[in-house]
């Protein structure tokens, strides 16, 4: 056993005896802490780290956080949670506490940032700014990873101290840069002499800057320029006025403008707004009014009162002279009619004259003295009087048109026009009805005549079907439409008589002055004048027409009465003669001959009377003076005249009248009957209304007439006249016969011509023998004489026969005679005449004796 | 040496290695060896003490230092389980590892029974306890390395075994705490 081993043994023993150091496990510690907390020995919050191995008091955590902040200047909470090893929740809580208690700290977007950090940032920014002379805020914000708003709020208080620069529209600039740009702006602004939109200017400057700095140059915002510009304006470095923030008007321009306006206005004492517009003045009236208080604004120009004085003098002169003037000719050429009218209304003399009705303003610019217009009107009216009234017949529609043109107040004039038209119609109609017969009033009957026409067409077509002819129907309808057209046309023509053009022409011929005005179109003055005169002329014409109408009304009544009377007369005569024809019914040829004769003599005169009266009536209705309508006893018209008159009738009446005439001449006999009936029906609607059913029988007669020719014309006439005219009763018959006989007797006794004596004697004999009035043509005399054979005694008959034979031979010789030759025929004629003359007393005695 | 738990590993590295390769029969060499053994044990013990991990007491039972006796213990559920420890230094030491014996646990478990000769049978034992690889390494290194001594054997062999085996034995009721035994005998 050596010492060393023992020593070691001892040492080992000692080592084993040594007290071992006491160590607590983590678990024990946790349990202990919990126990302590449970016993409330630890009475504060105790935090533990994320690893769970450490406890930390909030104060300690706060201290650690503060230390971290002071170290770094800017710490994110997440980083703090990592470095302290404490849950983020507690870190946030403590961080908020710290930030609340320390004004130099701020908590932004989960980061705690010290003020001093911002100072360093500002220094950084300043350094960079001095290098680059401009930095965008967005760039800085991106660099420091903060919001640009935050950067702005941080940088703004440090501008001028830490950051030597200027913040403008999201950009930082160095003063040098600002000064340079400012100089640019000033230069540009001073260079401008006309109004300009500043944003356009900024665009130019921007591109200029970019050129200077190359591609690296940051775009400078327009607002930067604008603020610089505003500063310059405020410092009165540039002169001018700014409108709406962008419209820059340099003082130079404004002065130039004003000078220009001033000089023009003072030289010409007027200036047009257009000129101001050209000078760039947007609201010329306000501009001028503020500058020239005494000036007067017109529609397109601005004038000095002296202009009014000048015009006033001209107008006054024209008014006093009883003449007219065109204010445009006095005013400068640039004046428009609106200006003229306005300036005229301002002239004191014109105002006065208008007030006292001494002057008339027409067509904006024309001043007419009342005397001139009156004179013109009188002359025109005189001219108008020469016009026949008939052509001035106006359709109500046309009147409306007139109204429109003259006044322009459409609704009112239409109303009045149509009203007056209607009332007139009604009046006429009423008066006609009162009289019991109304001669064709085309206006009123226009509507009525339509169904009539239809009726006629239908009856006719019925007839035509039976006849197997389909011509006349279409003819009628054609003629009808034609006539309508004619009427329209006629009215158009009437209108032209009063149309503006005509009026203007007339004025031109009356007042040749207008022509002399030469330089401009005379229409411009004449048209308003014509427009002004036209309604006056129309009304005066209407008045005249009305007077004429009322005057004619009485005459028309008389006319109608005469017509009725005459028709009665002749129809009675006709009936009388017709009776005599009954004697010849057994002799066909003689009967036809006689009938034709009757038709030619009596019916012709009837139709003539009818047509004549209708013509006069028509004229009267149109207001034409018909001097002596009473002296129409002896009318005899040629067929050409008849047609002319018939055609002169208005509208459907004309067609019918023409048909009547044609029928009379045996052309379209059927038509004649029909149209005559219609004609009568139209002019005497009242009577027709009463005998309406009888027209059925009329149509039957019509057919009979067509079948048997002219023989039935008489029959029909008899029937027809009997219906509408006076009926031939016995008493009347006798008186008529008596008067006829008396008449004849006196004629016979006075008769010296042997040839014409014979028919009269024969007629007288018929009256004596048969009590009937016979009208026979020469050719029928022999038949008539032979018929008397039975009734007369032989001697008388012999005388008659002898006379008749002698007459026949005489006539035969006369017709055979060549006239101027000296041969035996003339001798023989003479001898025969002598013979007849010797026989005449016997013949006369024959008749006169018996009577 | 990988595969050891970090505590064991760090402890092992702190135990000084033995330089002399000699067995009990080598006379002065063995004395030298014994001195080194003592140094290693002192180092290990002091290390355990400093870590509050003191778990055994041993002393040489004879002057030659070929027989050692003492105690070892383990704390489980705040209860200290203490066992007698004894072993002999085999003559072929250090080529042959000493057989550590816990007589109180003899017969308590077949494993224990088999493994009273701990180091020699360490392989099979730890295989069951899934220390197979660890111990095979240890066994190989130990057996192939004469520089490991008693301290190493305790550190590498007995300490892990106690940590692994005692809780099982306690839970299965094979061993009881001495207080419980005492109270049971009293009653």
For residue A12, list chain B residues with Cβ-Cβ distance below 8 A.
Answer: 38, 41-42, 45, 59
Report d(CA A232, CA A226) in Å as an integer.
10
pLDDT tens column, A332-359: 777 777 777 777 777 777 777 777 777 7
pLDDT band at A672 (very low <50, low <70, confident <90, very high): very low
Nearest CA in chain A to B70: A16
Identify which of B35, B57, B59 has the shortest CB distance to residue A4.
Answer: B35
- Tokens at A372, concatenated: 């001139």
Residue A488 pLDDT greater than 70, yes or no: no
pLDDT confidence of residue A464 = 42
For residue A349, which of A375, A334, A330 has the smallest C-alpha distance?
Answer: A330
A145 touches chain B (CB under 8 A): no
Contact of A13 with chain B, judged by CB distance below 8 Å, is answered with yes
Min distance A143 CA to chain B CA atoms (Å): 48
In the structure, how many helices (H) and strands (E) does chain B have? 8, 3
Do A610 and A788 meet the contact criterion of CB atoms below 8 Å apart? Answer: no
Cβ–Cβ contact A3 with B under 8 A: no
* Residue of chain B minimizing CA distance to A6: B35
B48·A2 Cβ contact <8 A: no
Q: Of A281 and A463, which is predicted with more confidence?
A: A281
The confidence band for A408, taking pLDDT boundaries of 50, 70 and 90, is: very low
Tell me which of A3, A9, A12 to substitute to probe the interface with B (most B C-beta atoms closer than 10 Å). Answer: A12
**A700: pLDDT strictly greater than 80:** no
For chain A, give the percent of residues with pLDDT over 90. Answer: 0
Q: Residue A11: its pLDDT value, please?
A: 87
DSSP states along A400-420:
HHHHHHHH--HHHHHHHHHHH
Interatomic CA distance for residues A474 and A476, integer angstroms? 5
In A, minimum Cα distance to B39 occurs at A8
Q: How far B179 CA sits from the closest chain A CA (Å)? A: 23
Q: Which of A119-123, A339-343, A635-639, B90-94 has the lowest mean pLDDT?
A: A635-639
pLDDT > 70 in chain A, percent: 51
Q: What is the ipTM of this complex?
A: 0.75
Could you tell me which of B71, B64, B78 has the C-alpha nearest to residue B26? B64
All residues of chain A having their beta carbon less than 8 Å from the beta carbon of residue B34 are: 5
**Residues β-bridged to residue B75:** B80
Q: Residue A749 has which token pair? A: 């006794």
Sign of CA pseudo-dihedral A682, A687, A693, A699 = negative
What pLDDT does A538 receive?
74
| CA B119 – CA B116 distance, rounded (Å) | 9
Cis peptide before A64 (omega within 30 of 0): no
Measured in angstroms, the CA of A10 and the nearest CA of chain B are apart by 10
Closest residue in B to A17 (Cα–Cα): B57
Q: Do A5 and B38 touch (CB under 8 A)?
A: yes
Q: Does B50 touch chain A (CB under 8 A)?
A: yes
Of B38, B45, B52, nearest to A21 by CB-CB distance is B52
pLDDT at residue A808, rounded to an integer: 75
- Chain B contact set for A19 (CB, 8 A): 49
Measuring CA to CA, how many Å separate A260 from each of A255, A270, A280, A281, A804? 8, 13, 12, 12, 119
pLDDT of residue A150: 81
Instruction: Choose the closest CB to A13 out of B39, B46, B59.
Output: B59
**Which residues have C-beta within 8 Å of that of residue A701, sequence separation ≥ 6?**
A673, A712, A715, A716, A719, A720
The predicted structure's pLDDT at residue B69: 92
The top-scoring range by mean pLDDT among A296-310, A491-505, A706-720 is: A296-310
Contact B50 A20 (CB under 8 A): yes
CA distance B69 to chain A (A): 13
Distance from CA of A25 to the nearest CA of B (A): 10
Residues of A within 8 A of B41 (CB-CB) are: 12, 15
- Note whether B7 contacts A: Cβ–Cβ < 8 A: no
pLDDT of residue B67: 92
Across the interface, which of B42, B48, B63 has its CB nearest the CB of A1? B63
Q: With bands split at pLDDT 50, 70 and 90, how would you rate the model's confidence at A426?
A: very low
Q: Which of A:14-33 have CB within 8 Å of B?
A: 15-16, 18-23
* Position with higher pLDDT, A88 vs A490: A88
- pLDDT of A533 > 80? The answer is no
Q: What is the pLDDT tens value at each position of chain B, 187 positions in all? A: 445 567 777 777 788 888 888 888 888 889 888 888 899 999 999 888 888 888 899 998 888 888 999 999 988 888 888 888 888 888 888 777 777 778 787 666 545 433 434 444 444 344 344 444 444 444 444 554 677 788 888 887 778 778 877 888 888 887 888 777 666 555 4
Give the span between the Cα atoms of A182 and A179, in whole angstroms: 5
Mean pLDDT across chain A: 66
The H or E element containing residue A249 is strand A247-250
* Cβ contact B38–A8 (<8 Å): yes
Q: Point out the least confidently predicted range of A195-199, A235-239, A722-726, B83-87.
A: A722-726
Q: Decide: B132 and B123 in contact? Cβ < 8 Å.
A: yes
Q: Which residues of A566-599 are buried (b: 16+ CB within 10 A; e: fewer)?
A: bbebbbbbbbbbbbbbebbeeeeebbbbbbbbbb
Contact: A18, B35; criterion CB under 8 Å? no
Q: Domain boundaries in chain B?
A: 6-177
Calculate how close chain A gets to B13, using CA atoms only, in Å.
Answer: 19
Lowest mean pLDDT among A166-170, A196-200, A247-251: A166-170
Range of lowest pLDDT (A45-54, A723-732, A743-752): A723-732
CB A20 within 8 A of CB B46: no
Q: Which of chain B's residues have a Cβ under 8 Å away from the Cβ of A21?
A: 49-52
Beta carbons of A12 and B38 less than 8 Å apart? yes
Residue A227 has pLDDT above 70, yes or no: yes
The per-residue pLDDT for range A618-631, each reduced to its tens digit, is 666 655 554 444 44
CB–CB contact B38 A18 (8 Å)? no
Helices A305-321 and A337-346 cross at an angle (nearest 10°) of 80
Q: At what angle do helices A500-510 and A370-386 cross, to 10 degrees?
A: 110
- The minimal CB distance from A15 to the residues B46, B51, B60 is found for B46
Does the structure show a pLDDT above 50 at A362? yes
Whether A13 sits inside 8 A of B42 (CB atoms) is no
Q: pLDDT tens for residues A464-480? A: 444 444 344 444 444 44
The residue among B35, B2, B42, B3 whose CA lies nearest residue B19 is B35
* pLDDT, position A409: 38
Pick from A2, A18, A23: CB nearest B51 = A23
Instruction: Please tell me the predicted confidence (pLDDT) of residue A741.
Output: 73
pLDDT for residue B108 = 65
DSSP A602: I
A41-46 own/partner pairs: CB under 8 Å, 24+ apart? none
CATH number of B6-177: 3.10.110.10
Q: Which residue has the tokens 């704390």?
A: B75
Residues from chain A that touch B35, judged by Cβ atoms under 8 A, are: 4-5, 8
**Mean pLDDT lowest among A212-226, A397-411, A540-554:** A397-411
| Closest residue, chain A, to B54 (C-alpha) | A20
Residue of A nearest to B63 (CA): A1
| pLDDT band, very low/low/confident/very high, at A575 (cuts 50, 70, 90) | low
Q: Which two tokens stand for residue A219?
A: 């775009």
Q: Residues of B with CB below 8 A from A22's CB?
A: 52
Q: Is B27 on the interface with A (CB under 8 A)?
A: no
Choose the weakest-confidence range: A9-13, A719-723, B108-112. A719-723
Structure tokens belonging to residue A158: 């440090």
Residue contact B42–A11, C-beta within 8 A? yes
Q: pLDDT class for A283, splitting at 50, 70, 90?
A: confident
Q: What angle do CA A433, A438, A441 make, to 5 degrees?
A: 115
List the single residue in B with minimal CA-CA distance to A8. B38
Which chain B residues are within 8 Å of A11, Cβ to Cβ? 38, 42
- Count of alpha carbons within 13 angstroms of residue A581, beta-carbon side: 26
Q: Are B35 and A5 inside 8 Å of each other by CB?
A: yes
Cα–Cα dist A93/A90, whole Å = 5
- Closest-CA distance, B124 to chain A, in angstroms, reads 32
The string of DSSP letters for B56-101 reads EEEEESSTTS-EEEEEEEEEETTEEEEEEEEEE--TTTTTS----B
CB contact under 8 A, B54 and A8: no
Helix A523-581 / helix A588-598 crossing angle, nearest 10 deg: 150
Q: What is the pLDDT of residue B70?
A: 92
Left, alpha or beta for A249 (phi > 0: left; psi -120 to 50: alpha)? beta
A353 with A361: CB under 8 angstroms? no
**A260-277 average pLDDT score:** 80
């Amino acid at each position: 056993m050596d010492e060393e081993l023992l020593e070691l043994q001892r040492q080992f023993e000692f080592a084993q005896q040594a007290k071992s150091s006491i160590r607590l496990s983590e678990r024990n510690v946790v349990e202990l802490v919990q126990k302590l907390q449970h016993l409330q020995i630890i009475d504060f919050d105790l935090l533990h780290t994320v690893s769970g191995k450490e406890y930390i008091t909030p104060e300690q955590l706060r201290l650690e956080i503060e230390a971290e902040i002071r170290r770094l200047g800017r710490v994110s909470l997440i980083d703090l949670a990592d470095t302290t090893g404490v849950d983020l929740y507690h870190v946030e809580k403590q961080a908020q506490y710290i930030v609340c208690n320390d004004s130099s700290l701020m908590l932004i977007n989960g980061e705690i940032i010290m003020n001093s950090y911002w100072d360093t940032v500002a220094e950084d920014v300043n350094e960079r700014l001095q290098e680059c002379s401009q930095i965008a805020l967005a760039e800085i914000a991106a660099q420091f990873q903060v919001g640009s708003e935050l950067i702005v709020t941080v940088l703004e208080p440090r501008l001028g101290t830490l950051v030597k620069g200027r913040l403008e529209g999201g950009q930082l600039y160095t003063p040098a840069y600002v000064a340079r740009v400012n100089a640019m702006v000033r230069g540009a602004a001073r260079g401008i002499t006309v109004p300009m939109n500043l944003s356009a200017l900024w665009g130019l400057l921007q591109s200029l800057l970019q050129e200077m700095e190359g591609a690296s140059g940051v775009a400078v915002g327009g607002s930067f320029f604008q603020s610089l510009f505003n500063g310059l304006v405020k410092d009165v470095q540039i002169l001018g006025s700014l409108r709406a923030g962008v419209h820059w008007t340099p003082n130079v321009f404004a002065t130039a403008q004003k000078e220009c306006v001033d000089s023009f206005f003072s030289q010409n004492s007027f200036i047009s707004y257009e000129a101001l517009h050209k000078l760039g003045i947007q609201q010329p009236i306000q501009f001028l009014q503020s500058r020239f208080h005494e000036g007067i604004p017109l529609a397109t120009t601005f004038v000095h009162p002296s202009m009014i004085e000048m015009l006033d003098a001209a107008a006054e002169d024209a008014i006093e002279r009883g003449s007219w003037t065109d204010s445009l000719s006095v005013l400068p050429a640039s004046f428009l009619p609106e200006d003229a009218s306005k300036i005229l209304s301002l002239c004191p003399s014109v105002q006065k004259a208008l007030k006292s009705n001494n002057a008339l303003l027409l067509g904006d610019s024309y001043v007419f003295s009342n005397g001139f217009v009156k004179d013109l009107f009188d002359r025109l009216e005189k001219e108008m009087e020469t016009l026949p009234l008939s052509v001035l017949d106006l359709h109500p529609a046309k009147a409306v048109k007139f109204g429109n043109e003259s006044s322009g107040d459409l609704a009112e004039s239409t109303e009045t026009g149509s009203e007056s038209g209607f009332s007139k119609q009604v009046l006429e109609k009423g008066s006609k009805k009162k009289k019991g017969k109304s001669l064709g009033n085309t206006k009123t009957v226009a509507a009525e005549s339509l169904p009539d026409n239809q009726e006629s067409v239908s009856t006719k077509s019925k007839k035509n079907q039976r006849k197997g002819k389909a011509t006349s129907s279409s003819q009628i309808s054609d003629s009808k439409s034609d006539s309508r057209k004619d009427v329209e046309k006629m009215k158009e023509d009437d209108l032209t008589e009063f149309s503006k053009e005509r009026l203007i022409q007339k004025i031109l011929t009356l007042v040749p002055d207008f022509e002399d005005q030469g330089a401009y179109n005379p229409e411009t003055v004449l048209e308003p004048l014509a427009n002004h005169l036209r309604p006056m002329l129309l009304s005066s014409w209407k008045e005249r027409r009305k007077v004429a109408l009322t005057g004619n009304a009485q005459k028309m009544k008389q006319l109608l009465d005469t017509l009725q009377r005459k028709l009665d007369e002749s129809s009675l005569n006709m009936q009388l003669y017709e009776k005599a024809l009954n004697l010849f019914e057994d002799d066909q040829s003689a009967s036809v001959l006689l009938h034709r004769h009757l038709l030619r003599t009596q019916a012709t005169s009837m139709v003539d009377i009818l047509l004549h009266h209708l013509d006069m009536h028509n004229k009267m209705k149109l207001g034409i003076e018909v001097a002596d309508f009473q002296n129409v006893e002896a009318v005899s018209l040629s067929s050409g005249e008849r047609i002319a008159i018939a055609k002169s009738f208005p509208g459907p009446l004309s067609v019918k009248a023409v048909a009547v005439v044609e029928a009379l001449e045996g052309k379209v006999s059927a038509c004649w009957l029909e149209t005559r009936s219609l004609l009568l029906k139209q002019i005497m609607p009242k009577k027709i209304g009463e005998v309406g059913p009888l027209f059925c029988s009329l149509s039957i007669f019509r057919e009979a007439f067509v079948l048997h020719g002219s023989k039935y014309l008489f029959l029909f006439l008899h029937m027809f006249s009997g219906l509408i005219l006076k009926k031939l009763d016995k008493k009347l018959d006798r008186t008529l016969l008596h008067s006829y006989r008396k008449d004849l007797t006196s004629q016979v006794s006075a008769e010296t011509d042997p040839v014409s004596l014979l028919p009269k004697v024969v007629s007288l004999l018929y009256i004596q023998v048969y009590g009937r009035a016979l009208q026979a043509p020469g050719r029928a005399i022999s038949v008539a004489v032979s018929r008397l054979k039975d009734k007369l005694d032989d001697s008388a008959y012999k005388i008659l026969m002898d006379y008749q034979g002698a007459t026949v031979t005489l006539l035969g010789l006369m017709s055979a005679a060549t006239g101027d030759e000296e041969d035996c025929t003339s001798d023989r004629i003479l001898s025969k005449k002598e013979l007849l003359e010797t026989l005449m007393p016997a013949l006369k005695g024959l008749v006169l004796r018996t009577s | 040496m990988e595969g050891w738990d970090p505590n064991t590993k760090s402890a092992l590295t702190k135990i000084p290695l033995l330089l002399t390769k000699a067995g009990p029969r080598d006379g002065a060499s063995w004395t030298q060896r014994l001195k080194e053994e003592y140094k290693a044990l002192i180092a290990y013990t002091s290390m355990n003490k400093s870590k509050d991990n003191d778990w055994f007491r041993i002393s040489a039972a004879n002057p030659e230092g070929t027989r050692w006796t003492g105690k070892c213990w383990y704390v489980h559920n705040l209860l200290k389980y203490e066992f007698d420890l004894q072993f002999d230094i085999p003559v072929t030491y250090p080529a042959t590892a000493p057989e550590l014996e816990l007589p109180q646990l003899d017969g308590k478990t077949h494993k224990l029974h088999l493994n009273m000769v701990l180091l020699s049978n360490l392989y099979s034992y730890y295989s069951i306890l899934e220390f197979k690889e660890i111990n095979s390494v240890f066994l190989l290194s130990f057996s192939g390395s004469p520089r490991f001594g008693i301290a190493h054997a305790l550190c590498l062999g007995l300490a892990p075994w106690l940590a692994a085996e005692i809780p099982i034995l306690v839970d299965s009721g094979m061993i009881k705490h001495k207080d419980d035994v005492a109270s049971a005998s009293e009653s």
